[in-house]
Structure 1
Amino acid sequence: MNGAQSSSASPQHGLTDRLARWARGFSGKSEEDSVEEELRPRSGTASNREINRRRQLYGDIGDFLFAHDLDLTPINFSVALDYLTGANIGVEKAIRAVMMERGKITNGWIESIAAEQRADEVTPESLATMLDKVEENLTQFTGLMHESRNSAKDYGAALQEQAKDLGEGRDNEPVLARLVGLTRSMVEKTRQVETQLRDNQRQTQALKSSLENARRAAEHDHLTGLPNRRAFEGVLREEVALAQQNGEMLSVAFCDIDHFKHVNDTHGHDTGDRVLKFVAGLLAKASNDHCHVARHGGEEFVMLFRGKSAAEACEAVDSVREDLATRSLVNRTNGERMERVSFSAGVANVLIYEDPRAALKAADRALYLAKEHGRNRVYLAAETD
């Protein structure tokens, strides 16, 4: 439900073939020649129905790009093909959601989707490769700096040696020629080092971008846009240290959407995803430097309040709960009004526990009690829990 894809729905699915076909446009062949080559039966057995289907698909892709005023780029062509053929479920769902909300997609949005998909592909192996490349670049950079310093020293020493031979009344032409040769050699070496440094800088910048995408992918939930459980655990450790250092209060809340399985079963997972994003948006409005909101997993969210007592945090969470409980949501698929969506929550004072994990367990127990006693309510964990 959070965008996980099977191997058959990979962003690379058919990409090589699509780019090859796209490249024909730059090969000097006419558009008709390219289309005819693509539609020509490779085995000599393709039926007219298959040929017509392919022709129709080409037309549909063109209509899609034109309708959204999209540039004719390989990325846009690939996304249009994935959407129209259903080859990539994640792309299909994302486009449908944007079209429902805005009615149109843009070049920038497609680029952001492509970036997210590339980030989703990060694996421990690819991270290790990136780190190895960073280390290699640093080694090369250190070597270049060492070589540059040595070249400068050698050049200075050679200049001093040749300068000794410069004197009045002597034939200085051979000495000047050697000085010119030394200078040209140094200039050439400097140019080579500068070129290598520029290449090294470009590679390092690309790696930095890849590592940043990897970090975001590892710490963010792509459905709601909120930090995920892993990111929250890191923030929790930092906030505990800050609160203790500054003598501030620190409270945590678990929020869980009521009867969420019923929402999925009744209205479908697409509608369930939209409900998750809607609730995430309401909770995220409270987020700032002293309030952190994350998706903890499934239909559960977690909130961390620095500078608020557990009772004050309870009031803040209850305010969001009341806001949600008054909303009347509509299933966009069929236009039907949905049952009232609500959430239950449990709140605990983090600093009265020896271990932050114990505070999380206390908040979770309070949430369980709120569910047991009717849902759509916020319970405060007992201070002696």
Structure 2
Amino acid sequence: MSAAPSPFASPPHGLTDRLTRWARGLSGKAEEGEEETPVERRSRASTAADREITRRRKLYDDIGAFLFAHDLDLTSMNFSVALDYLTGTNIGIEKAVKAVMMERGQVTNSWVETVVAEQRADEITPEALVAMLDKVEENLTLFTGLMHESRSSAKDYGAALQEHAKDLASGGDAETVLGRLVSLTRSMVEKTRQVETQLRDNQKQTQALRSGLENARQAAEHDFLTGLPNRRAFEGALREELSLARAQGEPLAIGFCDIDHFKIINDTHGHDTGDRVLKFVAGLLTKISNDRCHVARHGGEEFVMLFRGKTASEACALVDKVREDLAGRSLVNRANGEKMEQVTFSAGVADVLEYEHPRAALRAADRALYLAKEHGRNRVYVAADTD
């Protein structure tokens, strides 16, 4: 008869191992090859999750501190640059931020826009576009080959079925014929699976290429600072709207708008403030745009507008409302909180259909714009029909 175990005896070997591992875990000295218990795993996972939450919170705090320290707008672009810099995700951004901080001591909104634009320009080079187009052509060739192979396999499979059907009809051994049919069907199913897999891969690559080409098109047709279409995109819209206006017998007006004394704004308040003024004016003009009214940045402080279904005088009235809105605003320099001088623009409008070529209408609107400048600025003129 065995004696009852003493309450002071050593614990079983398994418990001893667990206690040892637990103690080592607390001291951070767990040996390689030791197995964790479910409790230990849950505890470690919970600790890792807490550390990740703490890390993210600190990163959010660091990003916020970076944005506020440099007086950057709370935009996705600025947030992305701060994230890339603080985490080192984008080496180019990290080096650029360090360089500008060494040189100037501060990062600005306009600098961020310039650097990001350069980064995107590097990503979407003519060589990259050629490579993407080559890949599209390669995918199309592969797709055509897969379709041809699939049709050939289906044709061969149909012909083989007919042959085996003839064998059965002529009294051939049914078991042998059925065995061949099963083997043939398995082979066809396997080929079909292979083609489907290749087609799925081809579809994924095509989707990625489509996204890349769309990004390239957006970058090529939009002004990065204001978000408006650029001159290239506007010229395309002009061709389309001119064709529609002629086909539907509608009027078509075009206008140029130029911010008055913009150089003085830059020289007095700095280029960051000048950029904000450009974006502000772009926002006011965007309010009147729709599928029949197009607004674009033509370059510098100049914007161009196109109005289908509006005469030159009607378009002039629309632009003049925006001019009045801007002239009545009291803008403030965010850098120092000081009130800025009145910001205004001058504009010229012309009837596109009054001219033999759209470029002649553009020149007429441009002349009307500079006539408005000469006569005191902060006004909108309509080009004379005889121009």
Shared fold per TM-score greater than 0.5: yes
Which residue pairs with 2:45 in the alignment? none
When residues 116 and 85 of structure 1 are mapped into structure 2, their CA distance, relative to the original with a 3 A threshold, is closer
Q: Distance in 1 between matches of 2:94 and 2:337?
A: 23
2:148 corresponds to: 146
Q: Deviations over 1:173-206 (max 9, x none)?
A: 2222211111111011001000000000000000
Question: Matches of 1:349 and 1:120 in 2, distance apart?
Answer: 40
What is the CA-CA distance between 1:78 and the residue it aligns to? 2.2
Which residue of 2 is the match for residue 65 of structure 1?
60
- Secondary structure of the 2:295 match is strand
Partner of 1:86: helix, strand, or coil?
helix
User: 1:231 matched to which residue of 2?
Assistant: 233
In structure 2, distance between residues paired with 1:280 and 1:222: 12
**Contact 1:120 1:217 (C-alpha < 8 Å) held by counterparts:** no
8 Å contact kept, 2:229–2:297: yes
**What is the aligned partner in structure 2 of residue 307 from structure 1?**
309
Contact 1:347–1:366, Cα closer than 8 Å, also in 2 = yes
Q: Does 1:267 align with 2:269?
A: yes
- Taking structure 1 as the reference length, the TM-score comes to 0.74
- The corresponding residue for 1:80 is 86
Contact in 1 for aligned 2:109/2:272 (Cα 8 Å): no
For 1:120 and 1:178, the matched residues in 2 are separated by 58
Tell me the equivalent position of 1:133. 135
Distance 1:77 1:304, change over 3 A: closer
Shift of 1:340: 0.8
* Gap change, CA 1:123 and 1:93, over 3 Å in 2: same
Q: 1:165 to 1:95 in 2, by over 3 A?
A: farther
Q: TM-score, normalised by structure 2?
A: 0.73
Q: Deviation at 1:138?
A: 0.8
- Tell me the SS of whatever aligns to 1:136: helix
Task: Decide whether aligned partners of structure 1 residues 223 and 325 sit closer, same or farther in structure 2, where only a CA change above 3 A counts.
Answer: same
List runs of 5+ in structure 2 lacking aligned partners. 1-53, 65-75, 88-92, 101-105
**In 1: Cα distance, 2:99 partner to 2:305 partner:** 33
For 1:153 and 1:169, how far apart are their aligned partners in 2? Answer: 25
- Where do residues 1-385 of structure 1 align in structure 2 (5 Å cutoff)? 63-66=58-61, 77-81=83-87, 82=93, 86-87=97-98, 93-94=108-109, 117-118=119-120, 121-166=123-168, 171-385=173-387
Contact 1:162–1:175 (8 Å) recurs in 2: yes
Pairwise CA RMSD:
3.1
* CA spacing shift, 1:83–1:290, aligned 2, 3 Å: same
The answer on whether the counterparts of 2:85 and 2:97 sit within 8 Å (CA) in structure 1 is no
Structure 1 residue ranges without an equivalent (≥5)? 1-58, 99-112
- Per the alignment, in what secondary structure is the counterpart of residue 256 of structure 1? strand
Aligned length: 309
AA aligned to 1:86 is V
CA contact (8 A) 1:61 1:84 kept: no
> Would you say the 8 A contact 1:61–1:80 is kept in 2?
no
**Residue of structure 2 in register with 1:38 after alignment:** none
Distance 1:208 1:68, change over 3 A: same
Deviation at 1:87, TM superposition (A): 4.5
Q: Quick check: 1:65–1:80 contact (8 Å CA) kept in 2?
A: no
Cα distance in 2 for residues equivalent to 1:312 and 1:183? 72
